[in-house]
Amino acid sequence: MSIRDDKLIQKYEIMTQFEKSLWDKGISFVAGIDEAGRGPLAGPVVAAACVLSAYRPIYGLDDSKKLSPKKRDNLYEQILHNCVDCKVIRIEHDEIDQINILEATKKAMRLCVDGLSKVPDYLLVDAVDIRHNNIPILPIIKGDALSVSIAAASILAKVTRDRIMEDYDLAYPGYGFSQHKGYGTKAHYEAIEKYGVSPIHRRTFLKRIL
């Protein structure tokens, strides 16, 4: 075993602290929940719920923002093949404008929970307290870096949303969606000034411009 492999195993052991405390009590169907895309000016917000197995560890899980695109894609496939269950939901830009981004995020998270094969025994959520159907819940600040279940959900949501924005880049060329994924970069604002607001922009995020 290499030093790198040993470090990945150690990190995994540390990041299963919340799950193990529940697994040891016989609580096995534990769903980690996270989102991607709360901050961008365009595109959907995507949430994911993921239930990991206590017997099929996935080494390398971490906050999706800390991982390279190649590593995220690799872990994405590992998660799909090794998790007990998962669900990914997107809420579109127009609904975000209607109900606000926080409510859209909470709605997507709750729909993820409802989309699992059975009601989870416990929810581990990155910071957001969604309070759903009286399911026990633990919101964890920076949970995607502290819990393997939340990290797995983070990766599912991030990879899914990045791929959506890459498709939008083909549909709406010139905005650079495949590069900045809809976030408010200098190049993105310059593209809006040049081409105007696209059909997938969140109007409530662009009040200063509109």
> pLDDT tens, 140-184?
999 999 999 999 999 999 999 999 999 999 999 999 999 999 999
DSSP secondary structure letter of residue 42? B
Looking at residue 10, what is its pLDDT? 95
Q: Give residue 129's pLDDT band: very low, low, confident or very high (50, 70, 90).
A: confident
How confident is the model at residue 209, as a pLDDT?
80
Give mean pLDDT, residues 35-49: 98
Residues 6+ away with beta carbon under 8 Å from 97:
202, 203, 204
- Residue 138 carries which side chain, given as an amino acid letter? L
Q: Please determine, for residue 1, whether its predicted confidence score (pLDDT) is greater than 60.
A: no
> pLDDT tens digit string along 74-126?
999 999 999 999 999 999 999 999 999 999 999 999 999 999 999 999 999 99
Region 180-191: what's the mean pLDDT? 97
Which helix (H) or strand (E) segment is 140 a member of?
A: strand 137-140
Angle between helices 3-15 and 148-171 (to 10 degrees): 100
pLDDT at 5: 80
Concatenate the DSSP letters of all residues of 157-208 into one string: HHHHHHHHHHHHHHHSTTS-HHHHTT---HHHHHHHHHH---TTB-GGG-TT
Q: How far is CA 209 from the centre of its chain?
A: 28
Q: d(Cα 94, Cα 117) in Å, to the nearest integer?
A: 29
- pLDDT of 122 reads 97
To the nearest whole percent, how much of the chain has pLDDT over 90?
93
Q: How many residues does the chain have?
A: 210
pLDDT for 3: 63
Handedness of CA 172, 175, 180, 185 (dihedral sign): negative
Return the pLDDT at 34.
Answer: 97
CATH class of 3-161: alpha beta
Q: Is the pTM of this model over 0.85?
A: yes
Tell me which of 2 and 201 has the higher pLDDT.
201
Q: Mean of the per-residue pLDDT values for the chain?
A: 96
